[in-house]
Amino acid sequence: MERVKGVVLCGGEGKRLRPITYYFQKTMIPIGKSQKPLLEYVVRLLKFYGIKDITLLVGYKAEQIVNYFEDGSRLNVNIKYVYDAQKMKGTAGCLLNAYKKKKIGVDDTLLIYYGDILTNMDLGNFIKYHREKKAKATVALAKGFTLRVGVADLNPDGRIIIFKEKPEFEKPVSIAIVALEGEALRDIEHLMGNRQELDLMGNVIPHLIEKEGKVYGYVTDAFWYDVGSTESYEKLDATAVEKALGFLYQ
């Protein structure tokens, strides 16, 4: 896909996935019936939609990723690696580090993908929507997210009036995929300043909304799953993975 670079965040320690991540990089945990690494599904999805220029932002247990994917030629993609920098932490800090090392630039459209998310979302339509809106950033969203806890409405004296176990959240939620115009890297550089840590979703997206308003939401009904905790990993149905993502291996 012209001028689109895939950027996958896969350097975190995966603390919510412990003890598994004492031994595995979180994006390398085996998924589905074929037990392929989670990150392979991500790379194959990017390639399927024509995004073959991919930068992996690595850190913790990076060797597992580098040794498996190498330069990407086995999967017919071009993979580059950027190792985390101690002075630029957080998801936006990792992006700034990649910018400083000239792996991504202000003329690129970046497809930023959090490495612990599994989805079959149509990335082609996502980028098309982003460009049609002439957005600086577009956040992928999904409806129908079910909260994992019960929710209560209370009256002033503390008596429960309404209680709902694991209700469906009313607003669309982020599925941790963002299209970002490279010019926003300058905003990230400015926001970072003397900080040592900066978050893409927590700091940069709100800043861009307030500054320009050119931030859009792309609502999808595609399959998606956050594999970022031990509980969610244990509940991931291998059959569901094959049904949703088997096309990547055909």
Read off the pLDDT of residues 61-91 as tens digits, 9 standing for 90 and up.
899 999 999 999 999 999 999 998 777 788 8
- Identify whether the C-beta of residue 109 lies closer than 8 Å to the C-beta of residue 5: yes
| Residue 36 lies inside a defined structural domain of this protein | yes
| Residue 51 lies inside a defined structural domain of this protein | yes
According to the per-residue pLDDT averaged within each range, which of 45-59, 84-98, 154-168, 225-239 is highest? 45-59
Identify the pLDDT of residue 193: 82
Q: How many domains does the chain have?
A: 1
| Residue 65 lies inside a defined structural domain of this protein | yes
**Prediction pTM value:** 0.87
| Residue 164 lies inside a defined structural domain of this protein | no
Could you tell me which residues come within 8 angstroms of residue 247 by beta carbon, excluding any fewer than 6 positions away?
Answer: 48, 120
Residue 62: CATH number of its domain = 3.90.550.10
Which burial class, exposed, middle or buried, applies to 194 when counting CB atoms under 10 A from its CB (0-12, 13-18, 19+)? exposed
| Residue 147 lies inside a defined structural domain of this protein | no
Residue range(s) defining the domain that contains residue 50: 4-140+173-249
Beta bridge partners of 219: 141
User: What is the tens place of the pLDDT at every residue in 8-33?
Assistant: 999 888 788 788 789 888 999 898 88
| Residue 25 lies inside a defined structural domain of this protein | yes
| Residue 167 lies inside a defined structural domain of this protein | no
CA dist 171 and 144 (Å) reads: 8
Beta bridge partners of 19: none
pLDDT above 70 coverage of the chain, percent: 93
Q: How confident is the model at residue 167 (pLDDT cuts 50, 70, 90)?
A: low
